[in-house]
Amino acid sequence: MDEESESGGGFGWGLIVGVALGLAAGVFLASGPGKDQVESLRARTIELTGSARRVASDPEHPIGRAINDGISAARRRRQELERAARGPRQEGAQAAETEVPDA
């Protein structure tokens, strides 16, 4: 029985060594084409970023118009909310000024 328990350890070590060798081979084989793919994605991202900025800054382009309309709407809504928030505070301040303290 002693021999059986020792032979089971060989399978575990073999599995660990096999996984390690598989990972090393995968990393080695993927490093070459992977680098090219990363560079290709980086170049494409830079290109798309530039074209998106051009479209967004062009007021004649539908996307640029939509962005500008959205910014204008957000500014108008902010002003409305600020006015609404100031209203009750100003009314409260005026009421506090007109109150006569009980003496």
Q: What is the pLDDT of residues 16-68, one digit of tens each?
A: 888 888 888 777 766 666 677 778 888 999 998 998 888 888 889 898 899 99
Count helices and strands in the chain by DSSP H and E runs: 2, 0
- Cα three-residue angle 7-8-14, rounded to 5 degrees: 95
pLDDT at 90: 67
> By C-alpha distance, which of 45, 103, 87 is closest to 95?
87
> By C-alpha distance, which of 43, 64, 68 is closest to 52?
64
